[in-house]
Structure 1
Amino acid sequence: MNFKTVFSGLFLLLFYINVVTAQSDTVHIKREYVAYTFFYNVVPNQCNYPLVGFLNVAKGNHKSVQLGFVNTTLKNFTGLKAGFINTTLGNVSGVALGFINTTLQDFKGCKMGFVNTTIGKSLGVHMGFVNTLVGNNVGVQLGFVNTAIQYIQGFQLGFVNTAAKGIKGSQLGFINIADSVSNGIPIGFLSIVKKGGYRGVEISVNELYSTNIAFKIGVPQLYSFFQGSYQYNYSKPLAVGFGFGSLIPIGTKLYVNPEIGSISSIINNNINTTTVTSFIRYAIHSKLQIAAGPSVVWQQYPQGENMYDSPFFSLFHKELDTKNTLLVGARVALSFTFTDL
């Protein structure tokens, strides 16, 4: 066997290997699955054509529109998704409209649906029945149950709002829960703020009841209170009330403390009593205060029954008609707070 024969054999072998490799690459490219039908659409990475069908799957990044019952993007998505279930495993920049909208990484844009979930950071608006943000959020949550696991900058509006690591902004809902609140206030029936919140118990005497005990919770700027009252000489001696108040500092230990509330007898709740009080509150200690101030009371008894024939005391008492009475009285209170003022 001479040198030329060996060289020719090696050349033919290398040529054969290159041809087989090229054919293998060609076959691999041809095997990239693409389906584009009305019912089922599957496209590869960066195939940025609109997907309109019952089931849409983008196997990589997709920048376009997905309209269907189930829309899924395995990487990042930019554009509009509208369907029953919208899922993106990467980042989203755009709009998602559906019953269930889920983003496993960062989201920027607007989500509208029944259940909206973002695992990464969020910048934008979430509107739905249940909105859950796991990462930091800048934007707005509008829904029945809004939950932010990390810090949120913006606004929460819903029945139950939770900012587990705090909020820079405001909450408006029936129940608000936050680790801390800055540059805003929580407004609701019950607001629970761990750091910088206000919680206290107060015992007081007023023009209608000689014994009152109230629990106050919220933040100093705006808190709600729940009150129980007793007056021994009334035919219906027990009453419960609810209201709102605010602590406005005018010195290191002195506060103006306006409150508005409503109180009603436990037995006969057809009698409506609205009270407006302006306390001057003095802090004896960081957790102990005394307060006193005038109050105005408007009583309504639609059925003509006045259970307050003889107020406990009053500075002014005027029956406007058979169903309305106006009182001017005064209140004195002693408060213990669980948080420092």
Structure 2
Amino acid sequence: MKRIIFLVLPQLASIANAQTTTQPFHFSVVQSVGTNGADSKNRNYHFSLNLLSGTVNSIKGVEIGALYNQNQGDLTGCQSSGLLNVTKGNVTGYQTAGLTNISGDVKGFQEAGLSNHAQNVNGVQLAGLANTAKEVFGVQLGGLFNKATRLRGYQIGLINISDSIEKGGGIGLVNVYRNGGYREVEVFFADYQHVGLSYKSGVESLYSIVSLGYNSLDTPLFSAGFGIGSLTGLKADWYFKPEIIWYNYLTKDLSFKTATQSTHLRLGIMKRMNKLSLTLYPSVYYANIPKGLEGKLTKTGEFKPFAQNKNGQFGFGLGLGIAFLK
């Protein structure tokens, strides 16, 4: 028994020393084929170069892999991979991958071509497709989807979701915030959109607007719009509701060759009545309808513009919205 103990103790001491001492350099071809073999997963390094892939305990410095990097512990510094980074501990610094980053808590910046997945984020997640995390104190920017459990910051993507939001907001086609969120479906009537339907989602301080509508002018026009807005309480159930929205107008043949665009700054005054609201929207707009243009798209609204130059026209608009609040 004593002989076994004397044989085992030096090995345990060696492993403990490897886990607590940071070595300068690690190189591997694939996992377990490198400078420290399979034992590299128990060692800490300042620099790790993985020709294809490699696994170490932790990095305090830089790790580069052509395909795949894996850390059993923490990363402090920079981790870069052509495909995938996995850090089972926490990341302090910068993590970048061609496809996906996976980690514990992040203090810094995660960047991936496809997706980022972390526990808690204090910093920025940037991905071509999706970002997921529990608590986010910072920014998530995803091409399609952002998901958090608790948000104190901003989400920018087509779909943004959080169980709760304390501060900040989302910019996207759909923003779903179960606690602290704001949503409304609005039927809209205006000189520049005779009948329209809008969906607004986010928080009161910052929400996104998606709109579809129809104009029965001399030349009937279909319109689609996207914008952002904000809601500020005045007194009792009255609110100031500024919005900016960009419209694209198409003729009934839906040909983009005959499309035109306008930008409306709307300064709404809203009266809230339980789950309903009524909003009056005076606005000022710019439409890219050049001077002397002939054809179907020479106007987008009923009112005559108050200014015209060679590139476009400026005018006033007026609208009325009836919204169902959620």
TM norm structure 2:
0.79
Question: By how many angstroms is 1:86 displaced?
Answer: 1.0
SS at match of 2:270: strand
- Residues 1:332 and 2:320 aligned together: yes
- Residues 1:170 and 2:154 aligned together: yes
- Residues 1:88 and 2:71 aligned together: yes
Aligned to 2:294: 305
| Counterpart selection for 1:52 from 11, 14, 27 | 27
Which whole-Å CA distance do the structure 2 matches of 1:52 and 1:119 have between them? 22
- Residues 1:238 and 2:217 aligned together: no
- Residues 1:180 and 2:164 aligned together: yes
The one-character-per-residue Cα deviations of 1:208-244 (angstroms, maximum 9, x if unpaired) are: 3432222222222222222222334533243332222
- Residues 1:275 and 2:264 aligned together: yes
SS at match of 1:238: strand
Unpaired stretches in structure 1, ≥5 consecutive residues: 1-16, 33-42
Equivalent residues in 2 for 1:194-209, closer than 5 Å? 194-209=178-193
SS at match of 1:25: helix
Unpaired stretches in structure 2, ≥5 consecutive residues: none
Q: Check the 8 A contact 1:275/1:295 in 2, yes or no.
A: yes
Which whole-Å CA distance do the structure 2 matches of 1:151 and 1:77 have between them? 24
Q: Check the 8 A contact 2:87/2:102 in 1, yes or no.
A: yes
Q: Check the 8 A contact 2:301/2:317 in 1, yes or no.
A: no
Question: By how many angstroms is 1:131 displaced?
Answer: 4.1
| Counterpart selection for 1:290 from 278, 282, 286 | 278
- Residues 1:155 and 2:130 aligned together: no
SS at match of 1:165: strand
Q: Check the 8 A contact 1:118/1:135 in 2, yes or no.
A: no
Aligned to 1:63: 45
SS at match of 1:234: coil
Aligned to 1:36: none
What amino acid is aligned across from residue 257 of structure 1 in structure 2?
Answer: K
- Residues 1:78 and 2:53 aligned together: no
Question: By how many angstroms is 1:67 displaced?
Answer: 1.3
The 1:226/1:187 distance shift into structure 2, 3 A limit, reads closer
Question: By how many angstroms is 1:196 displaced?
Answer: 1.9
What amino acid is aligned across from residue 240 of structure 1 in structure 2?
Answer: A
Aligned to 1:9: none
Aligned to 1:40: none
Aligned residues: 305
- Residues 1:222 and 2:211 aligned together: no
SS at match of 2:208: strand
**Sequence identity percentage:** 22
Question: By how many angstroms is 1:336 displaced?
Answer: 0.9
| Counterpart selection for 1:259 from 227, 243, 249 | 243
> Aligned-residue CA RMSD in angstroms?
3.3
Rg (Cα) greater in structure: 1
The 1:94/1:237 distance shift into structure 2, 3 A limit, reads closer
